[in-house]
Amino acid sequence: MLDCFSDDATVGISREMGAKVHQRTFTTYANQRNAAIDLASGDWVFFLDADERVPEALREEVLRAVSSSAALTGYWIPRQNIILGRWMRHAGWYPDYQLRLFRRSAGRYDESRDPHELLVLEGEQEYLSNTILHYNYDTLGQLFAKQRSYATRQAQTMRSQGVKAKPQNFVLQPFREFRRRYIQQEGYKDGLYGLFLSLVMAWYELRVYMTLARMSNR
């Protein structure tokens, strides 16, 4: 387990469960995952975040996959996002496939992408059927705090790539994100929750470009 000097009971609980704990100062999500790959010693890597859980059915499916498919290098796993206590089935929140199980020698995270890391994996990949449980946000405060943090990191990445905020971005990007989430990905089927989260993601896009503009002005 790789910990970024958390101040809760994570380290103690992990050690009690028999995990080998390494601690490292957090830099970026991709860099942290690559550091974890370097610490691993097995042939396969299965990434799991602290707010994610593996049901027994997924555990068994993972064990079968790594023991029977010599030619494959990775597996996409569906993720069930529990947001504010509710399973979100639409608006891009499900099945929300994540490439989390892969051969250690074949994969590396692209460190130019932050905060939404991308695994660059060589070789053939398939999909598993059982889900990772992701307990995303328990409160509105957690939701908005995380989105503010993500927006800042994404704006920093965009600025480093030479991207500049244009006047139309403040209208078109939020509108496109809302349309994608609420209409194209059928967020309306989740009722008021789907509407609310589609608006939150549109707000996120607006905040990214507002932050980028402030950075450019400085």
Q: What's the mean pLDDT in 186-214?
A: 97
Q: What's the mean pLDDT in 144-160?
A: 93
pTM, 2 dp: 0.87
**Considering the domain 2-135 in this protein, what is its CATH number?**
3.90.550.10
Rounded (10°) angle between helices 191-217 and 140-160: 40
Q: Which of 11-15, 54-58, 136-140, 210-214 is least confident?
A: 11-15
Domain extent listing, the chain: 2-135, 139-217
Residues 115-135 pLDDT 10s: 888 999 999 999 999 999 999
Beta bridge partners of 124: 72
Work out the pLDDT band at 9, boundaries 50, 70, 90.
Answer: confident
Residues 11-54 pLDDT 10s: 888 888 888 888 889 888 889 999 999 999 999 999 999 899 99
CB contact at 8 A, 62 and 33: no
Query: How high is the pLDDT of residue 117?
Result: 84
Euclidean distance between CA atoms 94 and 160, whole angstroms: 31
Sign of CA dihedral 99, 122, 34, 144: negative
